[in-house]
Amino acid sequence: MKGQYTIGLAVYELGNAVWKECFIHKTITKTQAEEIIDTLSQLLELMIILPIVKPTKAIMSRALDLGITYYDASYVYVS
């Protein structure tokens, strides 16, 4: 993952996924959730996190061409 790209939203997506496993599904403990988020934070430090881009026609075009959400197309756009 070192040197790979993602966007700033990835931080929140990962956090929400871990929160959901702990709070909703009860598959991990609070301590485990905190350890996982710490590990993910270290991983993200190795990556290049691009700022969240303003709404663009290019992202909308990809979303419509691929039949995916604008949100998901933002990841495709930066990749």
Q: Which two tokens stand for residue 58?
A: 């290019």
Question: Which of the four pLDDT bands, split at 50, 70 and 90, describes residue 14?
Answer: very high
> pLDDT by residue (tens digit) across 15-30?
999 999 999 999 999 9
**3-class SS letters over the chain:** CCCCEEECHHHHHHHHHHHHHHHHCCCCCHHHHHHHHHHHHHHHHHCEEECCCCCCHHHHHHHHHHCCCHHHHHHHHHC
What pLDDT, on a 0 to 100 scale, did the predictor assign at position 9? 87
69: number of Cβ within 10 Å? 9
Residue 47's domain spans which residues?
5-78
Q: Against a cut of 0.85, is the pTM above it?
A: no
Mean of per-residue pLDDT scores for the chain = 92
Total domains present in the chain = 1
CATH number of the domain enclosing 55? 3.40.50.1010
